[in-house]
């Protein structure tokens, strides 16, 4: 009898698994709460008003061939891995093989008021929300009532978003006849540097580029509490904000822990080299909700780069599973990190090469093109290449 393969989540890991199964003609059902796959790593561009928002998502029915894959739009509310069934909007879906690729969610660290008063850059809708709010705020900026946009958390998400907003503000100001100096953009980071995961040289370079674009970069500034219109930071006077965007960290999707999967302190499920959680052999967990050990034994960071590799690998392994041949262990290719610093510049490290400026930006744009091609070939590439700027 045909095995029921259920994939939860149409992010980078889930979509790559689905596309890989499709290429092998292996039937599956893909469950997602939205009818599209969004390019999550580019949401700062949506928030920063760069291109048409629809260039940053693709309808699932344009990716999945109905002769091979079924699409089920709904929200997963429970995973019964002992009874091999999943609850989706009140319906119970049975499976023989389950792929959990439900991604991560914002980490609020229990900071009082943070969830209530901040907006987060979390997917397409929230990116559009930030985009709309920015327009409304900039329109109203005056010398007496300047606008303060604060981004909390100077990791890759916060830095990419800040770079994008910094480039957009002068355009927006011109459009609405407002002076750009009446719109303040402030990036606050708890550590002594932004991008603490990168080399010192790249950290300095990123800070310099942001400051040249008019961003106030405040390091050693830890958010302790958020009130209506005010961020309380340790050891400094409170900061007033018109918009506070929190980009201070992520944790694994809460559904995993809530449904009895063993999770680490970041809510991610430790997995073995073929992505099984310990002792659960008909479930694979990949992407941001998996804690896969890196070369030093510590879990690798949750990135799209890894999620896509995991999805490709898992699709091959499911092919082996159905044929009864042994599964192959996953060996990640850690190619490096590339981050944009606005529309014309980037920063990053690929192998031992430290990159900055237009080269890093070019490689980042080339990555977008490669990804589009990998999920849907020419058809997808030609439809969605609007956000790619290779020249």
Q: How far is the CB of 367 from ligand NAD (least distance, A)?
A: 9
For residue 289, the tally of other CB atoms under 10 A from its CB is 32
Q: CB of 326: closest distance to ligand NAD in angstroms?
A: 31
The secondary structure of the chain, three-state, reads: CCCCEEEECCCHHHHHHHHHHHHCCCCEEEEECCCEEECHHHHHHHHCCCCCHHHHEEEHHHCCCCCCEEEEECCEEEEECCCCEEEECCEEEECCEEEECCCEEECCCCCCCHHHHCEECCHHHHHHHHHHHHHHHHHHCCCCCCEEEEEECCCHHHHHHHHHHHHHHHHHHHHCCCCHHHEEEEEECCCCCCCCCCCHHHHHHHHHHHHHCCCEEECCCCEEEEECCEEEECCCCCEECCEEEECCCEEECHHHHHCCCCCCCCCCEEECCCCCECCCCCEEECHHHEECECCCCCECCCCHHHHHHHHHHHHHHHHHHHHCCCCCCCCCCCCEEEEECCCCCEEEEECCEEEEHHHHHHHHHHHHHHHHHHHHHHHHHHHHHHHCCCC
Among candidate residues 160, 164, 189, 365, the one labeled active-site is 160
CB closer to ligand NAD, 138 vs 338:
338
Please give the residue ranges that form the binding site for ligand NAD (CB under 6 A).
41, 111, 152-158, 160, 188-191, 196, 222-223, 247-250, 301-303, 337-339
* Minimum gap (Å) between residue 245 Cβ and ligand NAD: 11
Q: Nearest-CB residue to ligand NAD?
A: 155
Q: Which residues pair with 356 in a beta bridge?
A: 347
Query: Which residue number, 28 or 371, has a Cβ lying nearer to ligand NAD?
Result: 371
In whole angstroms, how close is the CB of 193 to ligand NAD at the nearest point? 9
User: What is the smallest separation between the CB atom of 44 and ligand NAD, expressed in angstroms?
Assistant: 8
Tell me, yes or no, if 160 is annotated catalytic. Answer: yes
Between 224 and 322, name the residue whose CB sits nearer to ligand NAD.
224
CB of 312 to ligand NAD, least distance (A): 18
Q: Closer CB to ligand NAD, residue 154 or residue 287? A: 154
Catalytic residues: 160
């Amino acid at each position: 009898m045909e095995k029921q393969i259920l994939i939860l989540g149409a992010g980078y890991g889930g979509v790559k698994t689905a596309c890989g199964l499709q290429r092998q003609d292996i039937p599956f059902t893909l469950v997602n709460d939205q009818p599209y796959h969004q390019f999550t790593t580019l949401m700062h561009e949506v928030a920063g008003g760069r291109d048409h928002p629809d260039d940053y998502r693709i309808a699932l029915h344009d990716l999945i061939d109905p002769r091979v894959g079924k699409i089920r739009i709904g929200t997963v509310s429970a995973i019964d891995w002992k009874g091999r069934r999943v609850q989706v909007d009140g319906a119970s879906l049975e499976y023989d093989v389950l792929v959990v690729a439900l991604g991560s969610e914002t980490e609020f660290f229990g900071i009082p008021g943070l969830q209530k008063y901040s907006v987060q850059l979390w997917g397409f809708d929230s990116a559009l929300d930030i985009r709309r709010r920015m327009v409304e705020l900039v329109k109203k900026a005056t010398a007496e009532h300047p606008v303060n946009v604060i981004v909390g958390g100077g990791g890759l998400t916060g830095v990419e978003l800040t770079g994008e907003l910094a480039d957009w503000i002068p355009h927006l100001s011109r459009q609405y006849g407002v002076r750009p100096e009446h719109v303040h953009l402030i990036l606050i980071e708890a550590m002594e540097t932004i991008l603490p995961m990168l080399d010192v040289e790249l950290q300095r370079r990123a800070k310099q580029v942001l400051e040249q674009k008019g961003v106030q970069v405040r390091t050693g500034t830890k958010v302790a509490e958020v009130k209506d219109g005010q961020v309380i930071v340790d050891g400094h006077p409170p900061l007033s904000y018109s918009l506070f965007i929190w980009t201070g960290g992520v944790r694994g999707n809460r559904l995993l822990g809530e449904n009895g999967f063993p999770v680490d302190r970041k809510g991610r499920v430790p997995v073995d080299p073929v992505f099984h959680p310990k002792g659960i052999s008909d479930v694979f967990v990949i992407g941001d909700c998996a804690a896969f050990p890196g070369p030093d034994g510590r879990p690798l960071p949750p990135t799209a780069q890894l999620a896509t590799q995991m999805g490709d690998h898992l699709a091959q392994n499911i092919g082996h599973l159905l044929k009864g041949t042994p599964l192959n262990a996953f060996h990640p290719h850690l190619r490096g990190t590339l981050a944009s610093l606005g529309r014309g510049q980037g920063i990053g490290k690929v192998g031992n090469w430290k990159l900055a400026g237009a080269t890093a930006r070019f490689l980042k744009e080339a990555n977008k093109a490669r990804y589009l091609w990998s999920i849907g070939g020419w058809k997808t590439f030609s439809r969605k290449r609007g956000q790619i700027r290779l020249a």
